[in-house]
Structure 1
Amino acid sequence: MTHHVQIKVMPLKDLLDPQGKAVMGGLDNLGIKEVQDIRIGKHITMEIDAGSKEVAKQIAETTATKLLANPVMEYFEIEVIG
């Protein structure tokens, strides 16, 4: 059975986010002052062939831990859609 999985990889909250800071500067230049903070990350979608949602999530977690996210600088969240 194919499971659709979404993985969100974001910079750790305590670390500087240079991309987010650059976007904040751009918004400031455009006169958009209402935005308080921006964090830029990655959104990854996967289709995993697995017997259950739990197994699909485990495969996604292994993939994120070993390849997609740098645990020193990033955290990730996994959602199995179906």
Structure 2
Amino acid sequence: MAAGGPGDHPLKDILHFDMNVYDTECDNLIRELAKYVPENILYQSIDLSTAFNIDETILIDLKKELLEKLNFEKNKAKS
């Protein structure tokens, strides 16, 4: 079982240890999304399994997915 320290999970690394996992834009999207969505829901709704083996195509797709989720959550919060 993981100790829960840096390097154990990309979401924890970004949110709790302020580490850079993907790139600045993507990491910041995740941090902003966490303001609207509880962390346990983020674990379930974002595929972070590629964090440590990511190429440019996967990164572009992840950014798109995160931006869509963030915009959805922001609009939901306005309602």
> When the two structures are superposed, what TM-score results if normalisation uses the length of structure 2?
0.27
Could you say which structure has the larger radius of gyration?
1
Q: Which has the higher helix share?
A: 2
> When the two structures are superposed, what TM-score results if normalisation uses the length of structure 1?
0.27
Q: Which has the higher strand share?
A: 1
